[in-house]
Structure 1
Amino acid sequence: MTHQQTNYHVIGIGIGPANLGLAALLTKAEDIQSLFFDESPEFQWHPGMLIEGADLQVPFLADLVTLADPTSPFTFLNYLSSQGRLHAFFFFNRFDIPRREYNHYARWTAGQLNNCLFGRSVTNVVYKEGSYHVCVLDQETKVETTYYADHIVVGTGTKPLIPEPLQGHPPEDVLHTSQYVMQEDSIAGAEKVLIAGSGQSAAEVFLELLQKDHRPELNWYTRSAGFFQLESGKLGQEIFSPDYIDYFHALPLEKRLDELPNLTQLRNGVEESTLHKIYDVLYHRTTGGHPSGTVIQANTEVKDIKAAGDGSYEVTLHQHQQEKTFRVTADKVILGTGYKPDIPEWLETLTKDADREDDRLKINRRYHLSFPDERSGRLYTLTDIVHSHGAGATNLALAVNRNVTIINDIAGRTIYQERENTVFQQFGASQSADEKE
């Protein structure tokens, strides 16, 4: 065990887009020493879903830094200029950008930041003597080093959620959508493929397989009530704003939890363009009475998967409204069953004494936890904050706003302007002049 004597102002754990943006924005605060660690050997953003033709679901302005500082050298437009693609993007003439290009942009940014270290796994964090002691294992040398920080920012993100009855099968046969690109070759020769889920990832996989030269029989099921379009109305999108976070965070926990299902379509629907492409392919394919070669069915949940003995799988499904259980066979099963917070064991230990709302961590408006010992060192979290900060917790644009809040909080001064009144609507009751009197 070695010790890094430098006491950093802040250490970030996990380098996804949120902490990468934080690292980039901190370059403007030269007096704040920062360091970020990630166990992966290099930056990759959802590599299993970097399907050619798939686009980011937010405008390019929701890059790592622009909404905080459009003059930053790490903007997407500056990236395009550095790649000689600015004119091509001008003629591309769209606000949404390829998901592959966003990943390439983020990798370009990470490659310029000296405060981002990859191939480093955080094995433990403890708070003592007024600072956080962060134990980091170098994946290549296997040397463990302890670093010290006044504050830490946890950005460990999410991991695939696969229900227990669907686990235990070879990953090349039964896989989560997050692994699709890595297993694409093994799927290529399948005759029957079953896809579960009705979010953007499941829809993109369905569309990708639908357009293959080799056309497998496709069964697409979701336990949801339908294959619904992502809400794209401009007023509806205003919940992804600092103003809505102010409103949501101030509500009692019970009201916040009650509200989350109402916002599902703003987070988990499918892009209109993706649904249109799917329908267009199916329409063209069925011209002249040809079969579509697909089953698309809602209100139907995958309950169990069993190996059939001939290399295929027997999948048990249940149609909730009809209360009917039935079985189909498939060579490959692709699960768009979502994600869950990735909470390391050391984080559970570190936060066991933190203040709570019922059984959930209490996270204040400025994204840090509070402890009974009223410690000076703050633990900021970007992970598992939907219950405290709302449906936009994973929104890329709001991640920039969140980073501004955290940077100003650490610095104790305004480094980046925190914007107010960013939307046209009001989310709560406002007092009239008579009521204020």
Structure 2
Amino acid sequence: MNTKDLVGIGIGPFNLSIAALCHDSPKLDVAFYDKKSSFCWHPGMLLPNTYLQTSFLKDLVTAVNPKSPFSFLNYLVSKKRFYAFLNNDRPAISRQEYNDYLQWVSKQIDYLNFGQGINAVDFKNNQFEVHLENHDQPIQTRNLCLGTGKRPHIPQAIKAQQHPTRCFHAIEMANQKRDFTNQRVTVIGGGQSGAEIFLHLLSGYDGAPSEINWISRRSNFLPMDETCFTNEWFSPNYIDSFFPLPSSTKYDIVDEQKLASDGISESTLKSIYDMLYEKRVNGDEQNYRLRPNRDLIASHQSNGVVLEAHNKFDGSTEHYHSDIIILATGFENAVPHYLEPMKHRLDIRDDQQFLLGRDYSIQWDGPAQNKLYAVNAGRYSHGISEPQMSLMCWRSATIVNDLLGEDFYDLKDDCSFVEWNNPEQRVEQTQKLSA
């Protein structure tokens, strides 16, 4: 039976980037699997007028191979939209266009296998066995890359209220036709997703709610920090400096950097404020409330759902009567079910985070030459950029280089204006290594 060099589990943007870069090397025999019938990037979040927070140049391939046929610029040319795109002069591309780009790439790579779910993964006879749904024989591979993502985070205070139409996570928002006419709707979460959904509701795309509440535990509806020196955190040089730090130091640093990756785009905040202002000018009834600095503490059924929140500003307790609750509450770590046969062999923290090496492989008790790479799993090992698109391509190339055992892609990037490490300490370390 043919043994693959790499099997990727899950085909989202991160594994799609690896697949696109593997296309450049005839040495690699790879395959990727996903239970979805075709590629679609978070279809439940593809709302009208929603945009990426990352430059279109940070696509699947351009940062390491700008000549690749899978670049966003090549996509524009092939779609005959290059000049229209330039003329449009948008600061960011829409989620819809980015999804279309990813679908365009996915249709050109023949080793992507959709409609193929994974039952289990095990390690036998010095190779991984990937057991597919509805297949008798497992796929044999020397290495794996886990790209099945995180699971939606549901706050404990509201878990009992979950319902596909009345209380659901934001990732499901656009998956079905909804009518919020005359409904009391509460959005929980003060990041970009919460802002987009609040704006969507204000715009009346799904009917006119009788009441819209937007609740966040953050101190205000805070903007994403996209300034130039902050963006130095999203660079290969920063990862080189960040990775060797002690774990306790890393956690403090990443938490401090939250708004560099998890704030609201200035354009979205401006659109919301403009709409609220126009409603006030027009004398519209104020059916909305923006309530930051609140912690959700409980919920119960009573003519819909009553949410109880603690106001951290004045110490009071507030109640929100809701017919519809939308949870823009992000995602959390979870070890995929298919790893159960070999979970005991992996190094996993109590918070369900994998312990990763510098090459993005999970630390485990198996042979060093057999690796389980994980993408979107290193926020507290590799830094704030890990869950973002910013260094997706560079990380993919790091993994491909490691698979090949050579610097197939040139990943050197020496243009950084910030010195993160003590340069004297770095000289001392170099002298010790050379002695």
Alignment match, 2:400: 407
Deviations 1:3-47 (A, max 9, x none): xx2111111111110100100110110110000011111111111
**Distance in 2 of aligned mates of 1:144 and 1:87:** 51
Which secondary structure state, in structure 2, belongs to the residue aligned with residue 327 of structure 1?
Answer: strand
**Distance in 2 of aligned mates of 1:305 and 1:253:** 36
**Paired residue total:** 426
Alignment match, 2:111: 115
Query: Would you say the 8 A contact 2:189–2:215 is kept in 1?
Result: yes
Which secondary structure state, in structure 2, belongs to the residue aligned with residue 11 of structure 1?
Answer: strand
Alignment match, 1:301: 295
The partner residue of 2:306 within 296, 314, 333 is 314
1:361 matches 2:354: yes
Which secondary structure state, in structure 1, belongs to the residue aligned with residue 128 of structure 2?
Answer: strand
Alignment match, 2:154: 162
Task: Give, in angstroms, the shift of residue 136 of structure 1.
Answer: 0.9
Q: Which runs of 4+ in 1 moved over 4 A?
A: 288-291, 355-360, 432-437
Q: 1:336 to 1:434 in 2, by over 3 A?
A: closer
Q: 1:376 to 1:333 in 2, by over 3 A?
A: same
Query: Would you say the 8 A contact 1:187–1:332 is kept in 2?
Result: no
Query: Would you say the 8 A contact 2:126–2:367 is kept in 1?
Result: no
Q: Which amino acid aligns with 2:273?
A: Y
Task: Give, in angstroms, the shift of residue 97 of structure 1.
Answer: 0.7
Alignment match, 1:204: 196
Query: Would you say the 8 A contact 1:190–1:331 is kept in 2?
Result: no
The partner residue of 1:386 within 379, 382, 392 is 379
Which secondary structure state, in structure 2, belongs to the residue aligned with residue 56 of structure 1?
Answer: coil
Task: Give, in angstroms, the shift of residue 49 of structure 1.
Answer: 1.1
Task: Give, in angstroms, the shift of residue 288 of structure 1.
Answer: 6.0
Q: Which amino acid aligns with 1:219?
A: N
Task: Give, in angstroms, the shift of residue 189 of structure 1.
Answer: 1.6
1:44 matches 2:36: no
Query: Would you say the 8 A contact 1:14–1:155 is kept in 2?
Result: yes
Q: Which amino acid aligns with 2:12?
A: G
Q: Which amino acid aligns with 1:100?
A: Q
After TM superposition, the score normalised by the length of structure 2 is 0.92
The partner residue of 1:260 within 249, 254, 257 is 254
Query: Would you say the 8 A contact 2:122–2:339 is kept in 1?
Result: no
1:371 matches 2:367: no
Which secondary structure state, in structure 2, belongs to the residue aligned with residue 243 of structure 1?
Answer: helix
Task: Give, in angstroms, the shift of residue 426 of structure 1.
Answer: 1.6
Alignment match, 1:181: 174
Query: Would you say the 8 A contact 1:172–1:187 is kept in 2?
Result: no
1:27 matches 2:23: yes
Task: Give, in angstroms, the shift of residue 351 of structure 1.
Answer: 4.1
Deviates more, 1:347-356 or 1:298-307: 347-356
Query: Would you say the 8 A contact 1:130–1:376 is kept in 2?
Result: no
**Distance in 2 of aligned mates of 1:261 and 1:187:** 37
**Distance in 2 of aligned mates of 1:342 and 1:92:** 40
Alignment match, 2:217: 223
Query: Would you say the 8 A contact 2:120–2:340 is kept in 1?
Result: no
1:153 matches 2:149: no
**Distance in 2 of aligned mates of 1:70 and 1:190:** 51
Query: Would you say the 8 A contact 2:169–2:329 is kept in 1?
Result: yes
**Distance in 2 of aligned mates of 1:371 and 1:399:** 24
After TM superposition, the score normalised by the length of structure 1 is 0.92
Gaps of 5+ in 2: none
Q: 1:211 to 1:56 in 2, by over 3 A?
A: same
Q: Which amino acid aligns with 1:246?
A: D
1:272 matches 2:270: no
CA RMSD of superposed structures (Å): 2.1
Alignment match, 2:8: 12
Deviations 1:297-355 (A, max 9, x none): 1111223333324xx32222221233322212122111111111342133254242335
Query: Would you say the 8 A contact 2:354–2:377 is kept in 1?
Result: no
Alignment match, 1:429: 422
Alignment match, 1:237: 231
Query: Would you say the 8 A contact 2:250–2:380 is kept in 1?
Result: yes
State the identity %. Answer: 31
Higher strand proportion: 1
Q: Which amino acid aligns with 2:144?
A: I
Q: Which amino acid aligns with 1:78?
A: N
The partner residue of 1:92 within 69, 75, 88 is 88
1:194 matches 2:186: yes
Deviates more, 1:295-304 or 1:225-234: 295-304
Q: 1:77 to 1:373 in 2, by over 3 A?
A: closer
Which secondary structure state, in structure 2, belongs to the residue aligned with residue 223 of structure 1?
Answer: coil
Aligned pairs (5 A) from 1:67-78: 67-78=63-74
**Distance in 2 of aligned mates of 1:348 and 1:134:** 12
Which secondary structure state, in structure 2, belongs to the residue aligned with residue 105 of structure 1?
Answer: helix
**Distance in 2 of aligned mates of 1:341 and 1:397:** 20
Task: Give, in angstroms, the shift of residue 224 of structure 1.
Answer: 1.2
Q: Which amino acid aligns with 1:245?
A: I
The partner residue of 1:127 within 95, 120, 123 is 123
Q: 1:434 to 1:201 in 2, by over 3 A?
A: closer
1:324 matches 2:316: yes
Which secondary structure state, in structure 1, belongs to the residue aligned with residue 164 of structure 2?
Answer: coil
**Distance in 1 of aligned mates of 2:123 and 2:349:** 22
Q: Which amino acid aligns with 1:426?
A: E
Query: Would you say the 8 A contact 2:181–2:208 is kept in 1?
Result: no
Q: Which amino acid aligns with 1:124?
A: A
Q: 1:433 to 1:358 in 2, by over 3 A?
A: closer
Q: Which amino acid aligns with 2:409?
A: Y
**Distance in 1 of aligned mates of 2:65 and 2:213:** 46
Alignment match, 2:330: 338
